[in-house]
Chains A and B, each alone.
Chain A
Amino acid sequence: MNARLGSFLRFLAGDAQADRLVPPTGYTARLTVFAAASMAFLAVFALALSLATGRVADRWGEALAKSSTIRINAPVDQMDAQVLTVMDILATTPGIGNARPLSDDEQRALLAPWFGPDLPLDQLPIPRLIEVIEEGDGFDAEGLRARLAGEAPGAILDDHTRWREPLVRAAKRLRALGFVSIVLIGALAGVVITLAASAALAANEQVIRVLRLVGAQDSYIANAFVRRYTLRALGGASVGTVLGALAVFLMPSSGEQGNFLTDLGFEGWQWLWPLLIPPLAALVAFAATRQTARTVLQEKR
């Protein structure tokens, strides 16, 4: 592998004289560079999308999985008794790290957006909330539900899983789609460069004939093309990556954790991921052009 990498790098460093043997083609050259730049730009976004949705999935999965709520609906005079019963049940349930009833102030704060700050909680039939924090592998939700139904009929366990799971699943799916997009962008880059290279090989038939006349081997002729397209892809993809990363960097941020839209970006070492795009683009171009050149040169003798 190392030997291969070495020969690849030596090849990129190249032989300036051999390079000149294929005439410069301004127009297709610019198109190739532009295509590589565009695809690198798109790849940066697909990457940012994948990483951001991955983060969101992890965060939701983690934060929500650890906390659940028990809601107690009971007549005002039975409320305190039921709260105590539920607390007792929770104290003897394995997998619960901490449970506590929300204070009136906390409940008032939760309701304030809807009913204003001066809510007379003690006079209203408002359910009481108990916040439950899991510990270790968590508790057995169905078992707890059964016990609550028997001993505190007004208590309902809301373990968030009902609405959390589809969200986490969607986030994970989105991350997978992001990766699929990256692979597709890579494949598309390969296709575009294959087309450009075969057009160039066809346009340079005369050059190939002359080079063969003077004893050039196929690999030598192929390299002149391969090197050119590899460097173009590398250059274009570098520009595209920088622009894409800049655009992601400049995305307005809400500073809130887990907000998917405003969180579309890279965090810390994740900024290293886009650095892989230009060398990968070069590698794709290298493989695509080499395969094309070999096929074309083999076809015409």
Chain B
Amino acid sequence: MIELEQVSYGYGGSTLLSDISMKLAPGSFHFLTGPSGAGKTTLIKLCYAELTATRGRVSLFDQDTQQMSRDDVARARRRIGVVHQDCQFLDHLNVAENVSLPLTVSGRSLEHPSELDDLLAWVGLTPQRDAKPPELSGGERQRAALARAVVMSPDVILADEPTGNVDWDMSLRLLRLLVELNKMGKTVLIATHDMNLIRSAKAQIQARVLRISNKQLHQAGADL
């Protein structure tokens, strides 16, 4: 699905990620950890071509991003649901409209409008359905971002700290959503600092843990 081969990336002159290779196979479930500032968000942005690698090769769905046109990138992104760390919304639209944005821009709609209600109910946003994003709490924004990332039933879900601002019970609920999607064959990558979340996931499914340290990507041991 998404593959990085010997990718390096740096802001300005300094190298942040060096010689990283990673493969998100269809149906796999990955966690991405590492200290704050290690480059988790940067790595995720490379995975949906928001950033372009300074060296190496990034492929989305077997297409080299270097060779993709902007329209190709847009089409690939419709198959990738992204939860941005600073959740980005259109502030003049309400939660329901923001969550269905991926459908709108690709000219699609849900088979049953009630699916949107179910999704909002699952992430606990039924009361905020008509609220505007600036009126939401941090956790509510994260839940809305997650709902938006999964609404298209994308092949890949990249979630950057989706549970950073929510309580443990809600974290488990959000994780459940991603686990269920993974069981349906979706590829999932979650960047998180939360070791409890990782343990909880590992109890439910096969999950791999990747760790960024010293600009490199490592497979974390099974001792987590």
Q: A210-B90, A301-B70 are in contact. Are A215 and B78 (CB under 8 A)?
A: yes
- A299 → B minimal CB distance (Å): 12
Find residues 204-254 in chain A having any chain B CB closer than 8 Å to their own CB.
Answer: 206-207, 209-220
Q: Within 8 Å CB of A23, what residues of B?
A: 90-92
Asked if A24 is at the interface of the complex by the 8 Å CB criterion, the answer is: yes
Q: Within 8 Å CB of B15, what residues of A?
A: none
Q: Is the Cβ of B74 less than 8 Å from the Cβ of A17?
A: no
Q: A20-B93, A214-B105 are in contact. Are A206 and B88 (CB under 8 A)?
A: yes
Asked if B148 is at the interface of the complex by the 8 Å CB criterion, the answer is: yes
Find residues 68-104 in chain B having any chain A CB closer than 8 Å to their own CB.
Answer: 70-71, 74-78, 80, 82, 84, 88-93, 97, 101-102, 104
Q: Tell me the nearest residue of chain A to B103, going by C-beta.
A: A214
Q: How many A-B residue pairs have CB under 8 A?
A: 63
**Residue in A17, A18, A214, A216 with the greatest tally of chain B CB atoms within 10 Å:** A214
Q: A212-B77, A216-B105 are in contact. Are A207 and B90 (CB under 8 A)?
A: yes
Q: Is the Cβ of A212 less than 8 Å from the Cβ of B74?
A: yes
Q: Tell me the nearest residue of chain B to A20, going by C-beta.
A: B93
Q: Is the Cβ of A215 less than 8 Å from the Cβ of B75?
A: yes
What size tier do the contact residues of chain B reach? 20 to 34
Majority SS at the chain A contact face:
helix
Q: Is the Cβ of A217 less than 8 Å from the Cβ of B71?
A: yes
- B45 → A minimal CB distance (Å): 10
Q: A17-B104, A21-B104 are in contact. Are A216 and B74 (CB under 8 A)?
A: yes
Q: A23-B90, A212-B77, A213-B88 are in contact. Are A18 and B104 (CB under 8 A)?
A: yes
Contact of A214 (CB < 8 Å), options: B70, B75, B148: B148
Asked if B66 is at the interface of the complex by the 8 Å CB criterion, the answer is: no
Asked if B214 is at the interface of the complex by the 8 Å CB criterion, the answer is: no
**Residue in B80, B91, B101 with the greatest tally of chain A CB atoms within 10 Å:** B101
Q: Tell me the nearest residue of chain A to B109, going by C-beta.
A: A17
Bound-state CA distance A211–B97 (Å) is 13
Asked if B106 is at the interface of the complex by the 8 Å CB criterion, the answer is: yes
Q: Is the Cβ of A24 less than 8 Å from the Cβ of B70?
A: no
Contact of A24 (CB < 8 Å), options: B78, B92, B102, B105: B92
Q: A210-B88, A210-B101, A301-B70 are in contact. Are A215 and B106 (CB under 8 A)?
A: yes
Q: Within 8 Å CB of B71, what residues of A?
A: 217-219
- B100 → A minimal CB distance (Å): 9
Bound-state CA distance A211–B74 (Å) is 10
Q: Is the Cβ of A220 less than 8 Å from the Cβ of B90?
A: no
Q: Is the Cβ of A211 less than 8 Å from the Cβ of B70?
A: no
**Residue in A23, A213, A216 with the greatest tally of chain B CB atoms within 10 Å:** A213
Q: Within 8 Å CB of B90, what residues of A?
A: 21, 23, 207, 210-211
Closest 8 pairs between A and B when the two form their complex, measured CB to CB? A215-B77, A215-B78, A216-B105, A23-B92, A214-B102, A217-B74, A210-B88, A214-B101
B contact set with A: CB distance below 8 Å: 50, 52, 70-71, 74-78, 80, 82, 84, 88-93, 97, 101-102, 104-106, 148
